[in-house]
Structure 1
Amino acid sequence: MPSDTALHQEFDRTLWQGRTDPEPDSERWHQKIQPLAEGAIPGCALLGFACDAGVARNQGRVGAADGPAALRRALAPLAWHRQGPAYDAGDVRCEGDAMEEAQQELADRLAPLLGEGHLPIVLGGGHEVAYASWSGLAQYLAASDEQAPRVGIINLDAHFDLRNPSYVRSSGTPFAQIANDCAQRSWPFQYACLGVSRAANTRALFQRAAQLNVMVREDREFDATRLTALLQDVKTFADHCDHLYLTIDLDVLPAAEAPGVSAPAARGVSLALIEPLIEAIRDSGKLRLADLAELNPGRDIDGRTARAAARLVHLLTLND
């Protein structure tokens, strides 16, 4: 059950609005999305994480708690191309600074979704969502009695988010927390961070990434001439994993494409280069869970960031 400080809000139909076309086979997301019900046929399950307490602790620009609603509104009018169903499982809401309670509530919501065969896509929320997403996946895998599962974490992000959580747990610490959790479970820690900005990460963070054997590809390594090599890097990484968890911090995109984030990127990696990587991860057959983080609608311009995020959700769900 939700705690007093991590509250669950059910499906809100008012967020799913859009045009309706008279032609046959012209449905859009708002016409096809369903509230998640017990015993539902496995499909794509959207679950919001309305929290930016981690961003506040990380001294960032707050507002990502409003991200899940904005993302749903942007996704609602997009054309429907799926074969399988899609569900809205509502939101986990963080009250005040109760980040840890909200993370636990999200994990407790994700584990049964995975057990029921759904592909959960979490709509953030600050990037503290990553530790909650991981915790839900780990909870599910631990219950399956799989021995030392090889979970590949692929983070599209301008930042490592490997800060030391012993000082303060925040949106800047989730992957350090995951590394610690893997060590406690005697599971391998397999982490790829793609789109990292050297200007936005200290030497200490690069050193920590090296110590943890993180696969690092910097933003300046992304261009059309290197895309084939980058795709091969992702494939090789996935080949050494049993399961994949994809997390997308929208600040990996250039500020012109994603102004509505906590920390806009001066350079970033364009959608045109991000999308083929996401397709490769989606089509690997190993993707178990995905989330999108840091959508801050109060800082957005003409809904650009929300539209980019909605396009990525649409892309992630096309092959089912």
Structure 2
Amino acid sequence: MATLQPSLTIEKEAESETQSASSKTKTEITAATPQTTGVNVPPPPNGGTRAWLQVLGAFFLNFNTWGLLKNTFGLFQSEYSAGLLRNSSQSSIAWIGSLQSFLMLVVGILCGRALDAGYFYVDIVLGVFLEVFGMMMVSICKEYWQLVLAQGLVVGIGTGMTFIPSVAIVGTYFSTHRSTALGLAATGSSVGGIIYPIVLRRLIVQIGFPWAVRTMAFIMLGTLLVSIVEMKPRLPPRKSGPLVNTEVLRDPIFVIWLIVVFFIFIGLYIPFYYVEQYALNLGISTDLSFYMLVIMNAGSVPGRILPSIIADKIGNLSVMIPVQISE
């Protein structure tokens, strides 16, 4: 029996160490997983340096999502049709931009839940990486399928991960001036649609398409780093519900709203894709055809700011309904 005692002691010590390691692992996993807190959250500041820095960060997110995809792809459309993809149809080329747009909105469903769970920084950092990496890959693409993967798939997923924070984070910092704040942030898409086409077109002439796209990717990286540094979730992580909340579909008013927004978006950005090529087909000069896209984006700047200011005073729908009817 005496000879068995050391063996039993060793086994007990090993078992104790195993339990300790298991307990430590569970503790680390629990600490790494965002938990819903019961902390009382103060009301939105509705201003101040921190709040307006969120607007600045969201501005650059829109600058590199809607401004990059929707408001700039018209230039890529013309460039591809005249050069790299000259043997492809206009509709085939447009599928690259369409895939980007589709993924930006669909991926946002998953990212919304990730933000609720407290994974804001994981989401935005990974999204920025995919956006910049995808554009770098565009600069070395030679075939249609390569552009679909790089610009359509990779950049599309990246923009989907970075777009949602531009709305979700800003909205939590404002209650009385929320529409104005979101409108100012949304002007980033218009400014991006002004700057990116001009920069890209001039650089294509000077240094060629590959390095022009790489320069564009570096601009994206620099501006998106501002968003990573400045944006900060105000609300604590909370328990997420189902991926798709089907309960809201029982509200007929909400369903009507979804249908209306669907038809608004279904044709909203088609002119941005084809306006330059359409102008060229009409015999308009190359320079003026190019600036048609820039002019459209410039015109949308006051259209994003002024209605937002008015909406804070009379209500969002009171502004949207007459605007949509006038279109």
TM-score bracket, normalised by the shorter chain, equals under 0.3
TM-score, reference length from structure 1: 0.26
Higher relative contact order by CA 8 Å / sep ≥ 6: 1 or 2? 2
TM-score using structure 2 length: 0.26
Higher helix share: 2
- Considering fraction of residues, name the structure with more strand: 1
